[in-house]
């Protein structure tokens, strides 16, 4: 299905196991990349063993000083070239993302565009790594702060965004003067290899050290090596809250730095003053986009009682129009879940909804027959529930939307929204200015992302991305997220002939 794309990306031979690139292909056990689209194997990738890992860390350590010595705008030029190559490969890489992960082709293209956008952002950033100056209390002294590269940045990414999240981290880390080591998801290894191949070409064309960027492939053991390795100056990890807690504990035990982007249990609040058409559009895409496998997917729809029946009926009508099938067919709205384990979690959640007292309005099932041979296609579900149900409090990576009724003022809805352990994305649908401002105030949403009259899913690269509570507290992508990839240093310069002490302390002898 994607042979032409693999060839255009230069990784067809790698998938056949006939190439062993020095720092982007390994010699350990084999992972088979099986597409959830049709259940077919699209390639075999060797896992990183411990000797491979030591070799690539050594290469990174060798390269990091040379790379840090390049002026930041020159580092930005390398990232600009990466962006140009991504433009050339957008269609092929987007199709690979769609086929290997299962999201729609349009979403695959959107993910690659996000990579291009963050390259552009990082290029501009390379000339804006600002420090600060401040007045000293001592005469003829100058104080300022500046930022230096950390060294080696480790990146652990998840299957649901197999290329974009790497780019968020990689581009910023690179322009900040760091080298990178990436562990992509073992469920989407071809996407990782394709991205590394594209960046490796840029490095080779500019006669730069190969160790500036490396990848390692494998399961949790490889991530554990990175978390426990004090040579990794920053570990940025995206995935489940369970995984993030393990990473955080390991990195903290060595007093290292971590940047965590973890689970979400995102809600859209629909007040009595909401626009119904906009609400349904936002809720449906948020709930079923990427088959509900985004960290920003809409899990809960908290609706005022005055509008509840209209929203419920409109949702049922909209869901009946959704087309489920091969995501490379652009007439389909929903592709498959990532694998049969995800399907099991989906089915388990449906049982729990009923067991805990919920009412399923649109029933779920695993689709069978022609076009569904992978057994990974499921029907999206809408269920009436109470916010306190244990299954509602848990993040289920599947297209399950919980419909929750609230009464009274918007503060009651916000209380329901905030009564979960996660704090990534949130939204309110309202044309009432007071409700919108209350939602955005310190009394409102406790999430890292709070939107008005748009859904929870889909973030622009210009703003910092991340959340609070069990979402981890990290920030990636735009705004001043670049500071996480650098170490901060305060400098004081005395240009006088005396040595006055701070706080007026006298020390004469």
For residue 298, give the 3-state DSSP assignment: strand
Cα–Cα distance, 363 to 359 (Å, whole number): 9
Beta strands in 277-366 (DSSP E): 298-304, 359-362
Tokens of 261: 């982007």
- What single DSSP character describes residue 481? G
Active-site entry in 100, 261, 395, 435? 261
Q: In angstroms, how far is the first alpha carbon of the chain from the final one?
A: 82
Tokens of 391: 């299954």
CB 164 within 8 A of CB 111: yes
* Residues 6+ positions from 377 with CB-CB distance below 8 Å: 324, 325, 335, 336, 337, 366, 367, 371
Tokens of 147: 């930022």
Contacts 24+ apart (CB under 8 A), 8-14: 8/89, 8/92, 9/89, 9/92, 9/93, 9/96, 9/194, 9/197, 9/198, 10/197, 10/201, 11/43, 11/190, 11/193, 11/194, 11/197, 14/43, 14/45, 14/193, 14/197
> In this structure, how many other beta carbons lie within 10 angstroms of the beta carbon of residue 111?
25
Helix H or strand E encompassing 278: helix 276-288
Alpha helices in 18-89 (DSSP H): 50-69, 72-88
Tokens of 501: 């002490």
**Residue burial 195-214, b: 16+ Cβ < 10 Å; e: rest:** bbbbbbebbeeeebbbbbbb
Catalytic residue flag (residue 210)? no
* Residues 6+ positions from 113 with CB-CB distance below 8 Å: 90
**Residue burial 123-158, b: 16+ Cβ < 10 Å; e: rest:** bebbeebeeeeeebebeeeeeeeebebbbbbbbbbb
The residues annotated as belonging to the active site are 261
């Amino acid at each position: 299905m994607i042979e032409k794309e693999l060839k255009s990306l230069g990784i067809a031979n790698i998938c056949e196991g006939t190439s062993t690139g020095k720092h982007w292909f390994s010699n350990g056990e084999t992972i088979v990349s099986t597409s959830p689209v049709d259940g077919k194997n699209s390639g075999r990738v060797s896992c990183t063993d411990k000797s491979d890992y030591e070799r690539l860390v050594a290469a990174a350590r060798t390269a990091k000083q040379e790379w840090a010595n390049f002026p930041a705008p020159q580092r930005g030029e390398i990232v600009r070239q990466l962006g140009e190559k991504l433009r050339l490969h957008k269609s092929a890489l987007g199709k690979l993302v769609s086929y290997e992960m299962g999201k729609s082709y349009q979403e695959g293209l959107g993910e690659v565009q996000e990579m291009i956008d963050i390259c552009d952002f990082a290029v501009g950033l390379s000339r804006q790594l600002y420090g600060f100056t401040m007045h000293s209390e001592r005469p003829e002294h100058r104080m300022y702060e500046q930022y230096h590269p950390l060294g080696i940045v480790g990146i652990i990414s998840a299957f649901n965004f197999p290329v974009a999240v790497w780019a968020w981290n990689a581009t910023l880390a690179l322009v900040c003067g760091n080298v990178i080591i990436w562990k992509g998801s073992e469920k989407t290894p071809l996407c990782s290899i394709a991205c590394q191949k594209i960046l490796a070409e840029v490095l080779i064309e500019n006669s730069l050290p190969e160790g500036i960027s490396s990848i390692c492939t494998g399961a949790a053991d490889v991530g554990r090596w990175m978390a426990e390795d004090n040579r990794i100056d920053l570990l940025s990890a995206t995935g489940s809250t369970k995984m993030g807690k393990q990473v955080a504990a390991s990195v903290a035990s060595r007093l290292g730095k971590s940047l965590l982007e973890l689970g979400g249990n995102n809600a859209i609040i629909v007040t009595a003053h909401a626009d119904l058409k906009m609400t349904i559009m936002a809720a449906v895409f948020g709930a079923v986009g990427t088959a509900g496998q985004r960290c920003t997917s809409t899990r809960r729809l908290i609706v005022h009682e005055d509008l509840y029946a209209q929203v419920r009926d409109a949702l049922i009508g909209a869901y009946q129009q959704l087309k489920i099938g091969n995501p490379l067919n652009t007439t389909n709205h929903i592709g498959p879940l990532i694998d049969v384990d995800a399907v099991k979690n989906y089915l388990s959640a449906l049982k729990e909804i009923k067991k805990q007292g919920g009412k399923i309005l649109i029933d779920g099932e695993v689709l069978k027959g022609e076009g569904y041979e992978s057994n990974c296609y499921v029907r999206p579900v809408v269920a009436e529930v109470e916010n306190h149900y244990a299954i509602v409090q848990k993040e289920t990576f599947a297209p399950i939307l919980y419909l929750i009724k609230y009464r009274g003022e918007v503060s009651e809805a916000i209380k329901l929204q905030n009564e979960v352990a996660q704090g990534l994305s949130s939204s309110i649908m309202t044309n009432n200015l007071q409700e919108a401002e209350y939602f955005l105030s310190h009394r409102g949403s406790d999430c890292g992302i709070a939107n008005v009259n748009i859904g929870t899913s889909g973030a622009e690269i210009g703003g910092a991305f991340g959340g609070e509570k069990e979402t981890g507290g990290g920030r990636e992508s735009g705004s001043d997220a670049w500071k996480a990839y650098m170490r901060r240093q305060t400098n004081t310069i005395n240009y006088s002939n005396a040595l006055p002490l701070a706080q007026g302390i006298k020390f004469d002898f």
